[in-house]
Amino acid sequence: MSLSTDFRNDIKAARKMWLPWWGVLLWMAFCLPVILVCDHFGRLNMALPILNCIAVLTLLIALRWRLRGQVWFWTTVSIVAALHALLIWYVPWTTKWVPALAISAIDSADFCVVLWVLAAVGRLMEGQKTAER
């Protein structure tokens, strides 16, 4: 199976995922402390990028949960999370209103890029296991 086929299959699987009602309540309960902490430190403008990053990474982990026993998977996710943290910290975020369509487009692009990176690293690691045998 090719890398593009893996990517397309993951996108199809992501479209079929639904968050149950208790998951929505749990997410809202998680968002409140993040918003309050950001507000307390005077950086309320960072709350939305932080929450969006957490949502994208959580969706990716849930989508690729079958790889949870692989060290390379968690290493890749950790590197991606660290890069996101640097991006959130160093990009000057606005306090002005941003259209939801723009935010969702950025989140979708981020999701697709990281999903492709995970598929590429997975393909690379699979190739190394085959070469070792």
Cβ contact 67:122 at 8 Å: yes
Write the DSSP assignment of 6-74 as a string of letters.
Answer: HHHHHHHHHHH----HHHHHHHHHHHHHHHHHHHHTT-GGGHHHHHHHHHHHHHHHHHTGGGTT-HHHH
Question: Over the stretch 84-128, which tens digit does the pLDDT of each residue have?
Answer: 999 999 988 887 888 999 999 999 999 999 999 998 998 888 876
pLDDT at 19: 84
Residue 132 pLDDT greater than 70, yes or no: no
Instruction: Let me know the angle formed at the C-alpha of 25 by 54 and 108, rounded to the nearest 5 degrees.
Output: 35
The C-alpha atoms of residue 93 and residue 46 are separated, in whole angstroms, by 7
CA distances from 75 to 96, 106, 122 (A): 35, 24, 11
Cβ contact 60:77 at 8 Å: yes
The C-alpha atoms of residue 85 and residue 36 are separated, in whole angstroms, by 19
